Amino acid sequence: IERRLDTVRSMCHHSHKRLVACFQGQHGTDAERRHKKLPLTALAQNMQEASTQLEDSLLGKMLETCGDAENQLALELSQHEVFVEKEIVDPLYGIAEVEIPNIQKQRKQLAKLVLDWDSVRARWNQAHKSSGTNFQGLPSKIDTLKEEMDEAGNKVEQCKDQLAADMYNFMAKEGEYGKFFVTLLEAQADYHRKALAVLEKALPELRAHQDKWAEKPAFGTPLEEHLKRSGREIALPLEACVMLLLETGMKEEGLFRIGAGASKLKKLKAALDCSTSHLDEFYSDPHAVAGALKSYLRELPEPLMTFNLYEEWTQVASVQDQDKKLQDLWRTCQKLPPQNFVNFRYLIKFLAKLAQTSDINKMTPSNIAIVLGPNLLWAKNEGTLAEMAAATSVHVVAVIEPIIQHANWFFPEEVEFNVSEAFVPLTTPNSNHSSHTGNDSVDSGTLERKRPASMAVMEGDLVKKESQAQATAGSHQLAVGPTHNSAGPSPHTVRRGKSPPLLRAPLGRDVQTFLGRCRGQVEKRVPMVPRLL
């Protein structure tokens, strides 16, 4: 038992020391004061202060909920530490610094009494030996030493008995001492259960704030998830890019074919991802807008024309009979999921409109299908991007080109490009040259499909100036395609007259061409460019 005392005392001393080191609060203080000094409390206060500054933003709501949770965790921690200190740390200190030292003092006292007893006994033995030669006065001295020896012996026995009793009591309490560590784990388990309850209450609130927030990245997000989250019918990047291109990109040569600057493209994608409305600067760079549209389509986890219909699309692409091919394409289009169908129709209508000005932008349906098709359909289990493009490009072109050519037959209904009504034209068209009456102008503005201002000028004001000169040619002009239902003849059976090129409003690099066509002598008219712009 004596040998174990030192080991037990060392264990209690170090356990007490390490437990105190685990405390985050100030040792020896009550729960309230300890709570104020905890690092978690400081973190919670910082979060709550920041949430008031961020107001109703997503981060503000997140910080408010998280700050409340951290404050509750700090409260639970302070109560836990006070309990552990009272029920475990202080008793361990008592064992190491009070109980065991008292037993060790008894052992030292016994050793001293034994020395005293040995000293008296040695003197008694010496006196007893001397009694044989000197008989005067020795009997009384021997008796005195005998009494001292007996008294010292009694003290030794009493101290030994007391020491033994204390050590036996210590051994008997070992089970009680072991309970301290059971209590420690039980207290930790209770603290963690309460902390878990706080977290489980806070996490659903945080997830709810996250799910309700519509401004999440659109690039790389499944189409269905993006539309559901944002409450939109047309994907934001798709509508935004189309509206920007309708304003300034329809006459841009090589649209979707010429690459954009990497930094500008990255900036536009980031702007669309955060749903910003500050897109005015991108009107001057249609190639960046076209690149962002291609990137959005390419980064969809599943292509717009879906993996499930990949085999059907590729089979239809191999059909030689054009009428049968168009009918099969129409039937496959109808199999698209509703969200994919609506967005695909929206995109095809825009591409058909872009192809109408192919005499200027050089983007015929074939060219559009070549550069944009691989972003609309690819195989699910292909290898690299280059391998996917090579494997699908031929089939995709054979599918996309006729759909663009005959867009009005595939999708006879009108499409409003400004679906969300969130995009405002750059300028308001001038109505001074309108041939309509005042009432007609009001009706036109309210009943006609909304178009960007630049397109309204392009198709109204300037085209009207050539209407008489091209009267005979105009009778042969057709729209993108006549309106048919699925049961009617395919557009391949309808001969289309070639639309003569129209005189368009000057935009950017077309200014000199416009002057040459109007005046015939570009060099003499260059000084007029600033006034025309």
User: Residue 414: which region, alpha, beta or left (left: phi > 0; alpha: psi -120 to 50)?
Assistant: beta
Q: What are the backbone angles phi and psi of residue 103, rounded to the nearest 5°?
A: -65, -40
Question: What is the spatial distance between Cα 461 and Cα 513, in angstroms, rounded to a whole number?
Answer: 19
How many residues belong to the chain?
533
Does the pLDDT of residue 199 top 50, yes or no? yes
Rounded Cα gap, residues 295 and 274, in angstroms: 16
The pLDDT of residue 295 is 92
Quickly tell me which residue has 């003499």 as its tokens. 524
Residues 6+ apart with CB under 8 A from 362: 253, 254
Residue 191's contacts (CB-CB under 8 Å, 6 or more residues apart) are: 76, 77, 80
DSSP for 57-86 reads SHHHHHHHHHHHHHHHHHHHHHHHHHHHII
pLDDT at 138 over 90: no
510: DSSP letter: G
The counts of H helices and E strands in the chain are 26, 0
pLDDT at residue 476, as a whole number? 32
Least confident range from 13-17, 112-116, 192-196, 520-524: namely: 520-524
Cβ 493 vs Cβ 481: under 8 Å: no
C-alpha to C-alpha distance for 449 and 454, rounded to whole angstroms: 14
Given a cut of 70, whether residue 139 has pLDDT beyond it is no
Residue type, 284: S
Q: Do residues 413 and 349 lie in contact, with contact meaning Cβ atoms separated by under 8 Å?
A: no
pLDDT at position 43 over 90: yes
The average confidence (pLDDT) of the chain is 76
Q: What is the DSSP string of 393-430?
A: HHHHHHHHHHHHHTHHHH--S---S-TTS----SSPPP
What domains appear along the chain, each with residue ranges and CATH number? 1-131+140-212 (1.20.1270.60), 223-410 (1.10.555.10)
pLDDT (0 to 100) of residue 446: 29
**For a pLDDT cut of 70, what percent of the chain falls above it?**
74
The pLDDT score that the predictor gives to residue 461 is: 38
DSSP labels, 192-253: HHHHHHHHHHHHHHHHHHHHH------TTS-HHHHHHHHT-SS-HHHHHHHHHHHHHTTT-T
| C-alpha R_g of the chain | 47
| CA 297 to chain CA centroid, nearest Å | 21
Distances (CA, A) of 93 to 16, 89, 90, 329: 6, 6, 5, 85
Q: Are 235 and 227 in contact (CB under 8 A)?
A: yes
**Is the confidence at residue 462, as pLDDT, over 80?**
no
Of 92-106, 180-194, 472-486, minimum mean pLDDT range: 472-486
**Greater confidence, 25 or 201?**
201
- Give the per-residue pLDDT at 449: 31
Give the separation between CA 333 and CA 384, rounded to whole angstroms: 27
Percent share of the chain, pLDDT over 90? 28
Give the closest residue to 440 by CA, choosing from 411, 460, 423: 460
| 301, two tokens | 């986890």
- Asked whether the predicted pLDDT for residue 443 surpasses 70, the reply is no
pLDDT on residue 384: 59
The confidence score (pLDDT) of residue 391 equals 54
